[in-house]
Amino acid sequence: MPVKIRLQRHGSKKRPFYFIVVADARSPRDGKFIQKLGTYNPLTVPATIQIDRQKALDWLHKGAQPTDTVRRILSFKGVLYLKHLLRGVKLGLFDEATAMVKFQKWHEEHEANNARRQEAHRKDQRARRQPPIVRKAVEAPVVAPVAEAPAAEAAPEAPAAE
C-alpha cells in the first residue's frame, strides 16, 4: 500500500486551511487518512505551520512519500535536514550528539532569519498603512541646502604653446 504525506483541505471557499496527513495514495484528497501530523495555514504572513517533527520523521523512515508542497514544508521545518543527519549517524559518519548539535545550530539560525523576515514584513505593512502625504514625507530624503561658496570665475586655460 503506497503511503503519502499530503495536504487535506479544510476551510471555506477562498479561505483554505490544510491538515498535513499521512494517507493511502488511493484515498481521496479530503477523505480517509491514517494519521494527522500537523496544520498549515497559507493565509497568514508568514504562513503558519505546526507539525509534529517526530511523527513526520517516523513516517519518512517507514517510506512515506511527501507531495511537493509537503516536501517544501518539511524542508522549511527542518524535518528533512534531521532525516539527513540521522542517516549520517546510521552510516557512522558522526555520533547522534554531533547531529543534534548541528540541527540545533541550524534551527537557531533559521528562527533568527524568520524573525528578521517577519519584522521586515511588519515594517513594510506599517509603511503601507500611513496616509500618502505622510508616506511621501517619510520617503523623501531630507537634504539641507548647502551654502554655495563664491566660485572663482576662472577662464579656461589655453594650452601652452611650445
pLDDT at 153 over 60: no
pLDDT-derived band at 45 (thresholds 50, 70, 90) equals confident
The model's pLDDT over 68-85, given as tens digits with 9 standing for 90+, comes to 999 999 999 999 999 999
In a domain, 28, yes or no: yes
Does residue 36 lie in a domain region? yes
Residue 16 lies in a domain: yes
3-state DSSP assignment of residue 128: helix
Question: How many domains does the structure of the chain reveal?
Answer: 1
In a domain, 150, yes or no: no
Q: Is residue 147 part of a domain?
A: no
- In this prediction, residue 103 carries a pLDDT of 95
Task: With cut-offs at 50, 70 and 90, classify the pLDDT of residue 139.
Answer: low
pLDDT tens digit sequence for 53-68: 999 999 999 999 999 9
153-157 mean pLDDT:
59
CATH number for the domain spanning 65: value is 3.30.1320.10
DSSP letters for 23-69: EETTS-TTS--SEEEEEEETTSSSPEEEE-HHHHHHHHHHTPEEPHH
pLDDT exceeds cutoff 70 at 162: no
> Do the domain assignments include residue 162?
no
- The pTM (predicted TM-score) of the whole model is 0.75
Domain with 19, as residue range(s), is 3-138
Instruction: Say what the pLDDT of residue 144 is.
Output: 62
Span 11-40, pLDDT tens digits: 999 999 999 999 999 998 888 999 999 999
110, part of any domain: yes
* Cα–Cα distance measured from residue 33 to residue 22, given in angstroms and rounded to the nearest whole number: 6
